[in-house]
Structure formats: C-alpha cells, structure tokens
C-alpha cells in the first residue's frame, strides 16, 4: 500500500514562473491537506480538499496560489508568478475516514522542495 506520493521532490523556478506540485493520497483516502514549511519553521496549514471540492482554504494566500483535487488524478497545488518568498517545502497529507468523518490521523508525503531563484 503506497503512501502519500508527492512530486516533484525538488523544483527550481525563476521569479515569475509557475510551480505545480502534485500529491496522490494514500489508497482509499479522499481527504488531502497541503502545508507549507518555511526554513527553520513549523508547518503551516494551507488548504484542505476533498475530491472536486475545497473544504477549507483559510491558510492559502489570496493571490497566486490555487489548489484542486479533481475527480481523477492527483491533487495539485499551483503557484503562479513565484517569488523568492515562496521557497519552502510543501507537504501534502491525507487522512482516512471513519463513518464519513476524518479520523484525524495524518499521513504525510515526502514533501516538494521549491526553490525560487
């Protein structure tokens, strides 16, 4: 049973380019969460998605950032017109459901490390 898969593991972009990060949750998990970890800091929640639905995007910057989790395929975190401050590790997590509700257990991917030059 594969864990949470994220790709790419490392991504380098120049200022102004777009970054796309992908996350495939664990098999059977339909809830996906994205977090950002700035250097020497803890994880900050960004967005919570279910298939075809954004549940909570309160942690997402209002501009340049978007996320989706289509019916088919991985969840995608998209950062447009990247700036140096976007350089961070972006982690995805998924959680299982029990009776339709998340159990609260979080299974993390290896993260995608974005470097903006």
User: Residue 85: phi, psi to the nearest 5?
Assistant: -65, -10
The residues, any chain, with a CB within 8 Å of residue 29's CB and separated by 6 or more, are 4, 94, 95, 96, 97, 107
Whichever of 72 and 99 has its CB closer to other proteins, that residue is: 99
Minimal distance, residue 94 CB to other proteins, in Å: 10
116 is an interface residue for other proteins by CB under 8 A: no
The candidate with the shortest Cα–Cα distance to 30, out of 114, 97, 103, is 97
Q: How far is the CB of 16 from other proteins (least distance, A)?
A: 26
Q: Is 25 in the site for other proteins (CB under 8 A)?
A: no
Q: Which of residues 54-113 bind other proteins (CB under 8 A)?
A: 56, 59, 91, 93, 95, 102-111, 113
- Please identify which residue in the block is written with the tokens 């401050």: 85
CB of 80 to other proteins, least distance (A): 24
Identify the residue whose tokens are 């299982």: 96
* Number of residues near other proteins (by CB under 8 A): 21
User: Radius of gyration (Cα) for the chain, nearest Å?
Assistant: 14
Member of 2, 28, 39, 42 binding other proteins (CB under 8 A): 42
In order of 15, 58, 76, 87, the CA distances from 71 in angstroms are: 31, 22, 12, 29
Binding site for other proteins (CB under 8 A): 33, 42-43, 45, 48, 56, 59, 91, 93, 95, 102-111, 113
């Amino acid at each position: 049973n594969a864990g949470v898969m994220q790709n790419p593991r490392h991504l380098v972009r120049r200022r102004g380019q777009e970054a796309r990060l992908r996350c495939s949750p664990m098999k059977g998990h339909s809830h996906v969460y994205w977090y950002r970890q700035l250097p020497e800091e803890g994880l900050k929640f960004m967005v919570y998605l279910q298939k075809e639905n954004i549940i909570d995007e309160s942690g997402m910057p209002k501009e340049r950032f978007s996320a989706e989790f289509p019916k088919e395929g991985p969840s995608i975190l998209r950062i447009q017109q990247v700036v140096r401050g976007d350089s961070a590790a972006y982690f995805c997590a998924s959680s299982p459901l029990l009776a339709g509700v998340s159990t609260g257990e979080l299974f993390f991917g290896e993260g995608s490390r974005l470097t903006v030059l």
